[in-house]
């Protein structure tokens, strides 16, 4: 066996054996490595304010108002332009954020620990759909909801986690895959299972009934409640296979609304980017073609772990958004086997005779076959301040993989 195959075997073994557990909730500034009082983390590869997409800018404006750094849009933009805020990718700080992926110091985050290898991952809370910060909205209702999350929801969940002890997120994902979720755009089962597990502990906290009731209702009516925990779990698992010399496995697919970026296990500390594509979108009522922004969010960490688009066979309804059929959905999952090195034994798909989801994207296979990773995704409005416009399907751009292959050959002597 050659060095690359050996390295990939080692990386995929670590990724598959990783065991992500939800262990608690704390403020970002208290737990995320390198998070300062004036740091804002964003989704995707590194980017400066001047090149940021509308939704990313909008979410930064909202986060600045939420933090009390600015009173309004004008003040927030001025602050962002001043260079006083350090912008950095969530991924470079052991974190992930959906859509714009903005995490500011005072936001609460879920803490996920990989109990097998000891690494941790963090993600903020899901606010629901539509006019929400992660889609770039920053109106009063958005800021009020974020403040309510900090005042009521986060303390309640933090206390509930103390009572529950570590929650096995891998088990929740495994179960949900047998309940119709593809675990990216459809997180109905994961969210319900998580709520079922946590509800008794939330009640036992002794918080007042009104708060508990409001939080339970908020989580129960939000079918993406679990998305952030799922993303942090995927990040914790994928990172277990990162930094393995000679490994050609992709350990992150991600986007910031301007650029699409990938990380590769054997090339730590480097980003390989290309312009972010525009998803084929099914629009929410009131929006139309031309409203959509370019591909955005760290949530493609789900596809990196064989979920979402890679597990399309599980959720034909997601593919249906752009006219697909159950057959198309199964074809997407089959196609992704061509660019991956394994099938996850714990994440299986009933409609594929319980075969595991395709996992471990090998950048060599992507370049050689021309088959691009297939991603299910939320879609934000192209402009700051509007919010979500729909759901869509998109492919990663080839140029990221070609750049990574050149860098790999250069580092390991192949060129």
List residues binding other proteins (CB under 8 A): 2-4, 246, 248, 364, 367-370, 402, 405-406, 408-409, 412, 414-415
Q: Tell which residue, 97, 115, 99, has the closest CA to residue 58.
A: 99
- Min. distance of Cβ 109 from other proteins in angstroms? 38
Closer Cβ to other proteins, 7 or 43, answer by number: 7
Closer Cβ to other proteins, 72 or 415, answer by number: 415
- Min. distance of Cβ 401 from other proteins in angstroms? 9
Q: Is the dihedral of CA 182, 185, 189, 193 positive or negative?
A: positive
Closer Cβ to other proteins, 171 or 245, answer by number: 245
Those residues whose C-beta lies under 8 Å from the C-beta of residue 291, and which sit 6 or more positions away, are 283, 381, 382, 386, 389
- Min. distance of Cβ 247 from other proteins in angstroms? 11
Closer Cβ to other proteins, 248 or 333, answer by number: 248
Closer Cβ to other proteins, 248 or 273, answer by number: 248
CA distance 106 to 180: 35
- Min. distance of Cβ 243 from other proteins in angstroms? 18
CA distance 135 to 121: 22
Give CA separation, 292 vs 4, 53, 135, 257, 385, in Å. Answer: 40, 11, 11, 10, 13
- Min. distance of Cβ 367 from other proteins in angstroms? 5
- Min. distance of Cβ 334 from other proteins in angstroms? 12
Q: Tell which residue, 387, 396, 381, has the closest CA to residue 300.
A: 396
Q: Are 307 and 187 in contact (CB under 8 A)?
A: no
Closer Cβ to other proteins, 248 or 315, answer by number: 248
Q: Say if strands 340-349 and 250-256 run parallel, antiparallel, or are unpaired.
A: unpaired
Q: Tell which residue, 140, 163, 138, 130, has the closest CA to residue 25.
A: 163
């Amino acid at each position: 066996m050659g060095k690359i195959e050996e390295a990939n075997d080692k990386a995929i073994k670590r990724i598959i054996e990783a065991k992500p557990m939800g262990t608690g909730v704390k403020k970002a500034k208290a737990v995320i490595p390198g998070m300062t009082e004036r740091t804002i983390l964003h989704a995707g590869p590194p980017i400066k304010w001047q090149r940021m997409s509308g939704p990313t800018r909008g979410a930064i404006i909202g986060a600045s108002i939420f933090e009390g750094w600015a009173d309004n849009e004008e003040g927030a933009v001025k602050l962002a332009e001043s260079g006083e805020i350090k912008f950095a990718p969530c991924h470079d700080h052991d974190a992930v954020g959906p859509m714009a992926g903005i995490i500011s110091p005072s936001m609460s985050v879920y803490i996920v620990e990989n109990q097998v290898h000891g690494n941790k991952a963090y993600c903020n809370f899901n606010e629901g759909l539509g006019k929400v910060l992660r889609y770039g909205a920053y109106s009063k209702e958005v800021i009020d909801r974020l403040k309510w999350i900090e005042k009521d929801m986060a303390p309640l969940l933090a206390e509930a986690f103390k009572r529950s002890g570590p929650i096995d997120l891998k088990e929740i994902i495994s179960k949900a895959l047998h309940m119709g979720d593809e675990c990216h755009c459809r997180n109905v089962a994961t969210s319900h299972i998580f709520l079922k597990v946590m509800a008794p502990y939330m009640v036992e906290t002794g918080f007042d009934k009104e708060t508990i009731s409001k939080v339970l209702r908020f989580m129960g009516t939000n079918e993406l409640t679990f998305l952030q925990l799922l993303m942090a779990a995927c990040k914790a698992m994928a990172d277990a296979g990162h930094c393995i010399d000679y490994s050609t496995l992709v350990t992150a697919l991600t986007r910031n609304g301007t650029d699409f970026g990938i990380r590769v296990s054997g090339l730590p500390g480097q980003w390989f980017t290309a312009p972010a594509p525009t998803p084929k979108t099914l629009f929410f009522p009131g929006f139309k073609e031309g409203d959509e922004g370019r591909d955005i969010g760290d949530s493609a960490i789900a596809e990196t772990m064989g979920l979402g688009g890679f597990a399309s066979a599980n959720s034909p309804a997601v593919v249906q958004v752009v006219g697909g059929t159950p057959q198309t959905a199964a074809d997407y999952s089959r196609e992704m086997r061509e660019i991956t090195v394994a099938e996850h034994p714990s994440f299986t798909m009933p409609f594929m005779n319980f075969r595991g989801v395709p996992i471990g994207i090998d950048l060599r296979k992507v370049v050689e076959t021309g088959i691009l990773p297939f991603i299910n995704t939320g879609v934000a409005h192209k402009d700051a301040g509007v919010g979500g416009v729909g759901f869509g399907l998109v492919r990663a751009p080839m140029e990221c993989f070609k750049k990574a292959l050149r860098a790999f050959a250069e580092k390991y002597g192949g060129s």
